[in-house]
Amino acid sequence: MSDSGRKLERLVEAVERQFVADGFSVEVRKREYDEEGRQSAEFDVVVSGRLGSTTVSWLIECRDRPSEGPAPSSWIEQLVGRRGRFNFNKVTAVSTTGFASAATRYAQEQGIELRTVDALDEDEIQNWFKVSNLQLFIHKGEFSKAEIRLEDPIQLEVKDLAKAAVQEAGASTKILKDRHGNEMSVIDAWTHTLNQNPHMFAGVSPGGDPEFRRLFVSFKEPEDQYVITTEAGDATVVGIVLEAKLAVEVREVPISEATRYSLVESGEALAESIRFDVEVRGQPFELGVHRLVQDGRTFIAVRGSSKAATSS
């Protein structure tokens, strides 16, 4: 499936999560396997949960093929077959190009619900979303020197070996371990420190020149501390002194897509959505702002390259 098709699935998933009752799950690209463990099907979005004393399942299939025109009746026939074969209680078809008249008639006959996702024009966007660009502030730090502070009391031999190991390894070699046993370099620890301590950028002008800072970061809690393993024993790192240049980059990100998610039969709009495609440190992120039309409730959904998180 194309990336645009995946984005359609994610939009539907994000909106439907806001409608489902507690205890229901919303799964994207759910796979079905036969008795021999071979994949027999993959479903775009599946909503399932207990309703009263029974379990119900709802399949939502998405179609984003602008070059092929309105969704044909053959697609609806496939969905009817899937409903029977995999015992779905309800099936909904979502298309970004509408439906052919024959497809609409057949869907009505077979009880397949139809929905569309259409583009919003600029005036419709401005009715509820008052900005045309997302202003992104990216905190950046380039350190020139790092000194570790070790827990006291500590055997002199362990202390000397730990400091020598750091000097010999350099900033990018994974010589530190966190409390979960994950190996990290001084650069990794520096990046983690920046992410966890945004106050370090206080006074740094957004969009301005980098500013030199000498910073001491204390790892007071045991779960924040690092360990350096030496031949004479483990040395606990309780702080890092950093000399670095800090900057705050300001980036204007335009709207990538604005859409309305609607029921075909009644024409009722369920949600309006704005999507921004953002790249931070080479990693793509998708930020969606969704407004539920019925009650005006707005929520944000953020998805990275490997996982998603949502917040209201």
Count Cα atoms within 13 angstroms, Cβ side, for 103: 22
Banded pLDDT at 250 (limits 50, 70, 90):
very high
Q: For 163, which DSSP code?
A: H
pLDDT tens digits, residue range 132-177? 888 889 888 888 887 888 988 888 899 889 888 888 887 788 989 9
Mean per-residue pLDDT, 260-264:
98
pTM of the model: 0.75
Chain mean pLDDT for the chain:
90
Residue 308, pLDDT > 80, answer: no
pLDDT tens digits, residue range 86-121? 999 999 999 999 999 999 999 999 999 999 999 999
CA dihedral of residues 293, 297, 298, 303 (deg, nearest 10): -90
In the chain, % of residues over pLDDT 70: 96
Task: Note every long-range contact of 284-291, with CB atoms under 8 Å and residues 24 or more positions apart, other chains counting.
Answer: 286/7, 286/10, 287/134, 288/10, 288/11, 288/14, 289/129, 290/11, 290/14, 290/15, 290/18, 291/128, 291/129
pLDDT tens digits, residue range 19-49? 999 999 999 999 988 888 889 899 999 999 9
- Residue 47 and residue 57 in contact, taking contact as beta carbons nearer than 8 Å: yes
Banded pLDDT at 4 (limits 50, 70, 90):
low
The pLDDT of residue 216 is 86
Per DSSP, the three-state class of 152 is: coil
What are the residue ranges of CATH 3.40.1350.10 in the chain? 3-129+256-311
| Distance from C-alpha of 234 to C-alpha of 88, rounded to nearest angstrom | 57
Top-ranked range on mean pLDDT: pick from 106-115, 124-133, 226-235: 106-115
Token reading at 84 = 């029977």
Amino acid in the structure at residue 103: A
Residue 11, pLDDT > 80, answer: yes
Q: At what angle do helices 73-86 and 101-110 cross, to 10 degrees?
A: 20
Mean per-residue pLDDT, 72-83:
97
- Residue 80 and residue 112 in contact, taking contact as beta carbons nearer than 8 Å: yes
| Distance from C-alpha of 237 to C-alpha of 133, rounded to nearest angstrom | 43
The pLDDT of residue 306 is 44
Class of 3-129+256-311 in CATH? alpha beta
| Distance from C-alpha of 174 to C-alpha of 185, rounded to nearest angstrom | 4
Does the CA dihedral 169-170-171-172 come out positive or negative?
A: negative
